[in-house]
């Protein structure tokens, strides 16, 4: 799931080197935190969060196959 | 054609015009474009103000232009970009493998749309891919949106990407056309406005196109995304 998030984020931003995703687990819950360059925030969030929400939908497919729940937060730099 | 003007709000002027043309179902030559608000900077920026444009349908042309462009052959110059096809296919494979799905991916250019833009089609085939469609095609549309953003970034222009899984979109289109005709009959029988369930702009467009030449009813979309829905009413 971390790999999927990183892949999408790096493909969308102007500064792929500054994409960082951390993954933590608690039982069957997976929490992803994504950090990108400040001027790339809009590219991974999108209008009304549309890009971030699309990423969450795709993450859910990956998570459900492993019986897990996943959350994705885009962190302020 | 009942609607002769349409106001659209979108992140960029190009996108606003494209969406408006799609809703009206006409080509770029058939409308006049007024930019009402140029918005503020930052394409997908946080808190950026969006662009607002008004499309005004020029008289006479609308219907004939649509039919002419529907039968025109593919634009070869726009379709000559093989690199983008391979890029889109590889990106799709990369995404699917990271979603832990195995599937075959093929890409091709579709027929030019009403604006003359050539959409890039991504066909995904394999077993047990219903998870990739999701409820009301939510997953399929998310994948399509992410792919369009990535491919458009690579191409440095907006590329319309259409993702299909095992012919789902074609089946859905047939269903929507049937639904449109059935609801039109119901509107005629009851004399009442028929309200369909919320749909994406692409799905609403299928309904509008199915009914555009209907002698007795007309269709229009009401409400705000993502709950925007088509209504069908008797012509006055």
**pLDDT (tens digit, 9 = 90+) per residue, B66-99?**
444 444 444 444 445 789 999 999 999 999 999 9
Structural domain range at position B200: 169-234
Looking at the fold, whether B103 and B177 belong to one and the same domain comes out as: no
Binding-face residues of A in 30-49 toward B, CB within 8 A: 41-43, 45-47
Q: How are strands ordered across the β-sheet holding B217-222? A: B194-198, B229-234, B217-222
Residue A28's pLDDT is 93
* Residue where a domain stops, chosen among B118, B144, B166: B166
CATH label, A2-75, candidates 3.30.300.20, 3.30.460.10, 3.20.20.110, 3.40.50.970? 3.30.300.20
pTM value is 0.67
Q: Does B206 share its domain with B225? A: yes
Residues of B in contact with A64 (CB under 8 A): 131
* pLDDT > 90: percent of chain B: 55
Residue at which a domain ends, from B166, B198, B223:
B166
pLDDT at A9 over 80: yes
Q: What does the pLDDT read at residue B50?
A: 73
Nearest to A61 among B50, B131, B146 (CB): B131
Instruction: Find the residue in A nearest to B42 (Cα).
Output: A42
Instruction: Flag whether B112 is in a domain.
Output: yes
B200 confidence band (pLDDT: 50, 70, 90): confident
Give the bridge partners for A74, in sequence order: A34
**Section B164-168 average pLDDT:** 94
Establish if B148 belongs to a structural domain. Answer: yes
Q: Indicate yes or no: CB of B146 within 8 angstroms of CB of A55.
A: yes
Distance in Å, alpha carbon of A54 to nearest chain B alpha carbon: 5
d(CA B236, CA B107): 45
Here the CATH number for the domain that contains residue B193 is 3.30.1370.50
- Evaluated on CA atoms B52, B70, B85, B97, the torsion sign reads positive
Mean pLDDT of B119-138: 92
Residue B42 lies in a domain: yes
Helix axes B138-155, B82-98, angle to 10 degrees: 140
**Smallest Cα distance from A60 to chain B, Å:** 9
Give the per-residue pLDDT at A77: 79
Question: Looking at beta carbons, which residues of chain B come within 8 Å of A47?
Answer: 11, 44, 50
Distance CA A1, CA A31 (A): 10
> How many structural domains are present in chain B?
3
For residue A51, which residues of chain B lie inside 8 Å, CB to CB? 44, 145-146, 149
Distances (CA, A) of A48 to A71, B8, B48, B49, B103: 17, 16, 11, 12, 31
Residue B65 lies in a domain: no
Q: What is the pLDDT of residue B89?
A: 97
Residues B74 and B162 in one domain: yes
The residues pairing with B185 across neighbouring beta strands, listed in sequence order, are none
The answer to whether residues B47 and B88 belong to one domain is no
How many CB pairs (< 8 A) connect A and B? Answer: 67
Distance from CA of A67 to the nearest CA of B (A): 13
Looking at residues B122-137, what average pLDDT do you find?
91
- Whole-number Å distance between alpha carbons of B95 and B201: 25
pLDDT at B47 exceeding the cut of 60:
no
pLDDT at B164: 95
- Domain termination site, one of B145, B166, B187: B166
Chain A residue at shortest CA distance from B135: A57
> Quick one: pLDDT at residue B143?
97
Which has the minimum average pLDDT: A1-5, B60-64, B91-95?
A: B60-64
A62 touches chain B (CB under 8 A): yes
Do B228 and B175 share a domain, yes or no?
Answer: yes
CA angle at residue B119 from B113 to B121, to 5 degrees? 130
Q: What is the mean pLDDT of chain B?
A: 83
The verdict on B153 and B135 lying in the same domain is: yes
Q: Which of B44, B91, B150 sits opposite A47 (nearest CB)?
A: B44
Same domain, B54 and B86: no
Domain positions in chain A = 2-75
């Amino acid at each position: 799931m971390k790999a999927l998030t990183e892949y999408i984020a790096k493909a969308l931003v102007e500064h792929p080197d500054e994409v960082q995703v951390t993954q933590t687990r608690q039982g069957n819950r997976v929490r992803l935190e994504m950090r990108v360059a400040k001027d790339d925030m809009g590219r991974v969030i999108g209008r009304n969060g549309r890009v971030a929400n699309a990423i969450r939908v795709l993450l859910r497919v990956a998570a459900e196959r492993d019986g897990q729940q996943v959350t994705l937060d885009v962190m302020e730099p | 054609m009942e609607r002769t003007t349409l106001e659209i709000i979108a992140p960029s002027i190009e996108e606003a015009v494209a969406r408006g043309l799609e809703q009206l179902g006409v080509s770029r030559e058939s409308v006049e474009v007024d930019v009402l608000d140029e918005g503020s900077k930052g394409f997908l920026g946080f808190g950026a103000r969006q662009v607002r444009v008004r499309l005004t349908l020029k008289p006479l042309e609308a219907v004939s232009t649509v039919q002419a462009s529907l039968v025109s052959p593919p634009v070869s110059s726009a379709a000559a970009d093989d690199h983008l096809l391979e890029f889109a296919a590889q990106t799709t494979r990369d995404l699917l493998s990271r979603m832990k799905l195995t599937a075959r991916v093929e890409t091709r250019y579709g027929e030019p749309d009403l604006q003359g833009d050539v959409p890039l089609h991504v066909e995904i085939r394999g077993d047990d891919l219903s998870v990739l469609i999701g409820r009301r095609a939510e997953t399929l549309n998310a994948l399509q949106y992410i792919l369009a953003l990535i491919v458009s970034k690579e191409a440095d222009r907006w590329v319309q990407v259409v993702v299909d899984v095992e012919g789902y979109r074609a089946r859905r289109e047939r269903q929507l056309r049937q639904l449109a005709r059935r609801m039109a009959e119901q509107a005629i029988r009851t004399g009442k406005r028929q309200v369909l369930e919320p749909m994406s702009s692409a799905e609403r467009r299928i309904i509008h196109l199915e009914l555009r030449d209907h002698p007795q009813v007309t269709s229009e979309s009401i409400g705000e995304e993502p709950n925007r829905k088509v209504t069908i009413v008797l012509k006055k």
